[in-house]
Amino acid sequence: MKSISIRLLFILMIGAILSCDKIWPGGDEPVIIDTKPGGILDMAFVYRVQGIPPGRLKKVDLCLAYTADNLYRGIFFVQANVSDAVTHYRFELPPGDYFYYATVICLCGGDSCKYSGFPGQNGLIAAGGKVTVEDGKINSYTTIFH
């Protein structure tokens, strides 16, 4: 009984090995797969605000839009899940021009936020601009808050 089950297992293993496809279909030549053109956008989400403790500033949004009109209307094709622990965000995109929008919030009480350029307590400041992605390159940009 034991030898029959071992033979059956051996036959099943041989059948499974023979039924697998070759690594390169059609011979020894590798198949060339056309890839879409694209580049990498490396956004450094950096902000330097004076007069506010670093723990009271938080990142809120980092969004990308195809056009300036879409950016203004809030129609983004990607929104990054931002974190205060992450500085660089990478996006794989087709070559072209894009527009970014980044926001930071001030969580200080009183007038500290207002004196540092925020509209008030729990106020947001935004940065935005045009970025270009070139084919096959890593394009690096840094957010600029005014």
Asked whether the predicted pLDDT for residue 1 surpasses 70, the reply is: no
Per the CB < 8 A criterion, the answer to whether 91 and 78 are in contact is yes
For the segment 44-77, what is each residue's pLDDT rounded down to a tens digit? 998 887 788 878 889 999 999 999 999 989 999 9
pTM of the model: 0.70
Distance CA 111, CA 45 (A): 25
Domains of the chain, residue spans = 39-142
Distance CA 11, CA 16 (A): 9
DSSP annotation of 46 reads: -
Distance CA 42, CA 106 (A): 25
